[in-house]
Amino acid sequence: MTEHRLTPIELRLYAVTIVAIGYVIAWAAIGGGGRGEPAPPVARVAPAAPPSLAPPPGWRVVTSPMPTPAVTRAPATRPLRVRTRSS
Amino acid sequence: MWTFHAMNTEIAVAAPDLDEAAELALAHRIARLFARVERQFSRFRDDSELGELNRAIAPITVSPDMLEILLRARAHVRASEGVFDPAVGAALAAAGYDRSFAPGALDRTSIDGAALPAHFADVWIEEPTRRVFRPPHVQLDFGGFLKGRTVDLAAALAPGGCVMVDAGGDARLVGDGPEGEGWLVDVEDPTDPQAVVATLRLRDRAIATSAANRRHWQVGDTTAHHLIDPRRGAPAVTDLAQVTVVAETTEQADVLAKVAFVLGEEDGTAWLRGRPGIGAVLVRRDGTTKIVGELEVAHA
């Protein structure tokens, strides 16, 4: 029976696995990030009250600005007339 | 003349009575207007107010601008007895127009299925509170009607004198033009973009054109286009290749051109003749043209 010696890569994988297991155990012990409060059950969201997209009275939605398009001079050779077509 | 890009087309602004600095300042104001309108009403932007309205699953409070557009749209829907209807967004998407247009970008081998019949009349609008409810199957798309309205608002920003605001061929022409003899408008031949079917001379008028020759795409072996017949919920089948309408406002010209295109030559002509002060150039699918109403034709 030959003795199997761990390679440096295998040793690192074992170490990472052990650290990860320890992290998960510790995370579970402190409440999974929920500050000790249980996660709200899905059933608490009343199906008859869908989220409203309207802001409350007195509020308005602040929107991100849209850049103003760059204005450039038309070529001097372009005639000052319209060419109508479907666009 | 100054140009910028908005609403997926080139916008040209000219005010020959102004000096260069004032004309440029006007162009910048108009560019900001177009950017604001596009930001608010684009069907393809998730963060637009129209996008919010098209996603809402309950009544929402809309902005005064949105309310105004909705009310104007409703007036056009009623006047056209539903032949103009901005509730065709779902039909457009079902036909393949589901993203901003670019040549070839919408081509596909098949479509997933037809949209449910949708009508603007199904949208509930409570004016005093600006509360709006859109049934889930109704997707709004203001399209050229909104572009025409924006052109009209843009022209109103000018301090006076001669002004041209041209949004890809939908234009408002204020005054007598640069030479004092009217603004010249070339009506493009839909079968040959290099050719012109007529040249018009306009004063204090607006013009808009509807045709299927530019915004079209392939669905398998068939060609689809963006002019939806709301009665069928599918691209219009018509004997016309193009309709150009001259009216008091660009908004009106755009709506009338669209309606006449969908109705076809016979019904479209009768419908246009029933509206005073309207002129039109109809191009049939065989390439022949027909003038409706009073128009000053410089060259034909």
* Distance, CA of B159 to chain centre: 25
Q: What is the pLDDT of residues A9-25, one digit of tens each?
A: 888 999 999 999 999 88
Convert the pLDDT of each residue in B210-250 to its tens digit.
998 766 667 677 776 678 888 877 788 889 999 999 999 99
Contact between A82 and B173 using a beta-carbon 8 Å cutoff: yes
pLDDT at A43: 53
Alpha helices, DSSP H, located in chain B = 20-41, 49-55, 64-79, 89-95, 143-156, 250-263, 265-273
The alpha-carbon gap from A6 to the nearest alpha carbon of chain B, in Å, equals 54
Q: Is pLDDT at A49 greater than 60 in this prediction?
A: no
Gap from A64 CA to chain B (nearest CA, Å)? 9
Check A67 against B209: CB less than 8 A apart. no
Average pLDDT of every residue of chain B:
89
CA dist., res. B31 & res. B13, Å (int)? 9
DSSP type of residue B282: E
* Dist CA B119 CA B86 (whole Å): 8
Looking from the CA of A67 toward its CB, the CA atoms found within 13 Å total: 5
- Which residue ranges in chain B fall short of pLDDT 70? 98-101, 107-108, 113-115, 214-217, 219, 224-225, 299-300
Find which of A59, A61, A72, A85 to mutate to test the B interface (most B CBs within 10 Å of its CB): A85
- Dihedral sign (CA B198, B199, B204, B206): positive
Residue B253: its pLDDT value, please?
96
The reported pLDDT for the residue numbered B230 is 81
Within 8 A of A79 by CB-CB distance, chain B residues are 184
* Count of alpha carbons within 13 angstroms of residue B202, beta-carbon side: 33
